[in-house]
Chains A and B, each alone.
Chain A
Amino acid sequence: MINFSNVTMVYRSGCEALKNIDLSIARGEFAFVIGPSGSGKSTMIKLIMKEEEPTGGELFVNGQDIRDIHRYETPYFRRKIGVVFQDFKLLKNKTAYQNVAFALRMTNTKPRQIRKMVPQLLSVVGLLDKSNEYPAEMSGGEQQRVALARAIAHNPDLLIADEPTGNLDPDTSLEIMNLIYKINQMGTTVLVATHDKTIVDAFRQRVIVLHDGRVVRDVPEGRYGV
């Protein structure tokens, strides 16, 4: 699904964010990427999303060389990747329903299809009863659920979660991670970048540790510390 071979990323500022990364994540896999701030987690996500291009090495995502994806193909490539963020990135002036519908509308899904899909997606994340609430009226956990519903709207092959529990209390964090795990069980490859020791230890999945732009540890069924 994701294949880094000898990937280096040097920003124009001269900052060397990733150094000779070799890494492979299989289709359907669940992996945590952990490491302190500035270790390269965000850069890794940016490269996978084709927000940036690697300055060295090769990166394949979903079978495509990231450099071969033309500017005009990028949106279609991104539709196969769902993404959630620490700050949820919901539109404040839209309800839960409208936020999910927005993602579908932007990709020219037919209105009839949208009316059918949005309730299904909201029920997957357990928020059908909050369809008409605005982000400000929802708890952090509920907002992250809406973001998850939106992220899986295009039935992505890959789900990237960038600090998904960063703004949530421990119980809610666990709920969100259970939801992400459930999505993984339905066949979507999942990559979670996090600082959250508790959830990493609780899920016992593959753990990739980045430090100063290098992979320093890569353990199947790992823990945060060891």
Chain B
Amino acid sequence: MHIIGEVITNLFKNRVLTLTSIFSIILMLILVGVFGVFLLTLSYNSEYMDDMLEIRIFINPEADDYRISAVEDSLIKDGRIEYIAYISKEQAFEDVKKIYDKEILEGLGPDFLPASYTVRLKEDVDADNFVSFAENLRDVYRVDFHQRSFDFAANLSNWVNIVAGSLSVLLGILSLFLVSNTIRLTMAGRSDEVIIMKFIGATEARIKKPFILEGVTIGFIGALIASLIMSFAYSKFFDWFGAEGSTEVFLAGLRLVPVRESVLLIYLAFFGISIVLGMLASQMAIRRHLKV
């Protein structure tokens, strides 16, 4: 118990540097958090992102079965397709019924919907090229392809990962030095105590313990505050893009990770990272400035 009191007193004595250290850790962790959220979102969406690579080709509703199968023939003959599935008007209508209220659909039959093909291309096929080929087929009135939003999402997350990743590494290094400096100052303030400890026969471990604990405490406080900020910010973010209370929220074609699922992992990482950082910083200060 004594030692915890010691640690808090010493950190309070150097509160300006202590706060700066904590602040820098918070900043670093939040960047790590952003980085983490993107990684989690990507892995959460990996299955769904695969679906995005499918191309949906809608057939003119006026086309009869013969003309529809002509479209299919052209698509298959083209040779770039790995997989093709036909969705009839009836099937499309069944799908729509699952989503919309019966009242809205009252009086409507399958005829108002187009039949369509879902197509997946072989690897290394230029999708844009294929899309314009399909668009120009007779009786094709629309081609849906999400490649662009997929690319956008992938690109965005790539950039976020690079920027957040390198910034958090930089901030990590900065935090390391700041925490180490804080510990060095508390050490300087207690050089007498260290000398006394030495000649009364305190072990090296006992002499170092309060300094290590100081580093760990700074890290712990930083992680705690960063977790609170992160949890608040992410749930706000989640609510902002989705209806209140909704569990499925989309942004730029990506499904956001539900608040609880994502963030627990990130908090664990926060505490892990910052406590290890605090210990490393203390070790650094001890190695440089404490002669036991």
Contacts and interface: CB of A to CB of B under 8 A. Distances in A.
Interface residues of B, number: 14
A150 B202 CA distance: 13
Interface stretch (A13-21, A73-81, A211-219): A73-81
Interface in B162-194: 192-193
Given A89-B192, A91-B193, A106 B206 contact: yes
Interface residues of A, number: 20
Nearest to A103: B200
A72 B201 CA distance: 11
Contact of B2 (A71, A105, A107): A105
B164 to A, nearest CB: 44
B204 A91 contact: no
A49 interface: yes
A107 B201 contact: yes
B201 A106 contact: yes
A1 B212 CA distance: 37
Contacts of A204: none
Nearest to A71: B204
A91 B191 CA distance: 11
Nearest to A84: B199
Contact of B192 (A71, A75, A83, A91): A91
A153 B197 CA distance: 13
A2 B94 CA distance: 100
Given A89-B192, A91-B193, A106 B200 contact: yes
Interface of A: 49, 71-72, 75-79, 83, 89, 91, 102-103, 105-108, 150, 153-154
11 contacts: A71-B204, A75-B204, A76-B201, A78-B198, A79-B201, A89-B192, A89-B195, A89-B196, A103-B200, A106-B200, A106-B201
Given A103-B200, A106-B200, 11 more contacts: A75-B201, A75-B206, A77-B201, A78-B199, A78-B201, A89-B199, A91-B193, A106-B202, A107-B200, A107-B201, A107-B202
